[in-house]
Amino acid sequence: MAVHPHSKQVRAPNRCRGPNAIALGAVWFVPWFMLPTNKTTLPLLFRVAAWLILAAVAVATLSPLDARPKSGFVPDVERLAAFLTVGLLFGLGYPKRWIAVLGLLLAGIIGLEALQLLLPDRHGQVADAAFKSAGCSLGLMAGVAVRRVSPW
């Protein structure tokens, strides 16, 4: 650590300048050992994240085609990845209720596809629902498996 010549405060060295400063700062800001590891707080965080991501995916699914976020991947891969994330978070948050969660998520996927039929520039298709359901199911199974072998 360097000491500023005009003050008695200790300053950090100038290692965090440049395009990666934000990313490095974010990594240093969240020390992994400070994340909650007890059996009540961590599932709650997964549950909140799961519902927030599900809401964001639903908004993206029902938004006009021009306003839909695009990652540059094939739309089927985007659907699979989005619902894989949703399923993973729900599996981490609700590992003992995975059957009910799977039923709820699959019903939600069918509902989102049905709602797309009501929008003029969107279309609900069985193939889209299949990719979403596959991603959701795989993510949910992965989340439940991680929770069963993890200490938390």
20-33: pLDDT as tens digits = 444 444 444 444 45
How confident is the model at residue 37, as a pLDDT? 57
Provide the domain count of the chain.
1
The answer to the question of residue 119 being in a domain is yes
The answer to the question of residue 26 being in a domain is no
The answer to the question of residue 111 being in a domain is yes
Q: Determine the structural domain holding residue 47 and report its residue range.
A: 35-149
State pTM to two decimals: 0.70
Pick 124 or 4 by higher pLDDT.
124
How confident is the model at residue 145, as a pLDDT? 93
pLDDT, tens digit (0-9, with 9 covering 90-100), for 69-92 = 777 888 888 889 999 999 999 999
Q: How confident is the prediction for the chain on average, in pLDDT?
A: 79
Burial label, 89 (beta-carbon count in 10 A; 0-12, 13-18, 19+):
buried
* Cβ-contact 60, 69 below 8 angstroms: yes
* Interatomic CA distance for residues 146 and 95, integer angstroms: 9
The answer to the question of residue 46 being in a domain is yes
Q: Is 129's pLDDT higher than 60?
A: yes
SS3 2: strand
The answer to the question of residue 8 being in a domain is no
- What amino acid occupies position 35? L
